[in-house]
Structure 1
Amino acid sequence: MVENITFDETLDCHGFSWPMAILKTKKAIGKMKSGQILEILGTDPGAKNDLPAFARKAGHEYLGKKEDQGFTRCYLDVK
């Protein structure tokens, strides 16, 4: 359940279109260790669908999302 996720890093992608947010996500993941959780904050509606696909292709686990006030919080388990 994403309400109780403890994350290790936060990536703020507010205002970025999803292709740029993916690049920022890849860069952030590259600095993390396996088993750490990345929280990604974003406003692009495409992120809700694209991030799970990106995680699957890159070998990471998409843990879910939750809607906040005007943005979305998504969570990835880095592998």
Structure 2
Amino acid sequence: MTEVHTKEPPCDAELDAAGLECPMPLLKAKLELNRLASGEVLKVTATDPGSQRDFHSFAKLAGHTMLHEETADGVFRYWLRKA
């Protein structure tokens, strides 16, 4: 059997929000994005299924770019480029 490896986009900071319930993954991501410079990328790992809706809405409203998103085995990963 052949394994398929996808290359993750590079990131400047990572946030592990696994195990946190809404709204904590988003709140922690906002705080981390505040520490980054414009154009830098934050990778967020979450396990809350509601994070999909939250992160897409947040990125759109705040002007950030959702560069990449992965979902596997109940784990959600997001790469956000700060506006």
Q: Deviations over 1:18-53 (max 9, x none)?
A: 211111011000000011110000000111121011
Partner SS state of residue 18, structure 1 = coil
Q: What TM-score, normalized by structure 1, do the two folds share? A: 0.88
Tell me, yes or no, if structure 1 residue 27 matches structure 2 residue 31: yes
In terms of fraction of residues, the more helix-rich structure is 1
| Structure 1 residue 5, shift from structure 2 partner | 0.6
Bigger RCO of structures 1 and 2 (CA < 8 A, at least 6 apart):
1
Q: Distance in 2 between matches of 1:46 and 1:70?
A: 11
Runs of 4+ off more than 3 Å: none
Q: How many residues align?
A: 78
Q: Distance in 2 between matches of 1:60 and 1:47?
A: 16
Correspondence list, 1:16-55, <5 A: 16-55=20-59
Identity of aligned residues (%): 33
Q: What TM-score, normalized by structure 2, do the two folds share? A: 0.84
Q: Distance in 2 between matches of 1:49 and 1:3?
A: 24
CA RMSD of aligned residues (A): 1.6
Partner of 2:78: 74
Q: Distance in 1 between matches of 2:26 and 2:62?
A: 11
Q: Distance in 2 between matches of 1:72 and 1:3?
A: 16
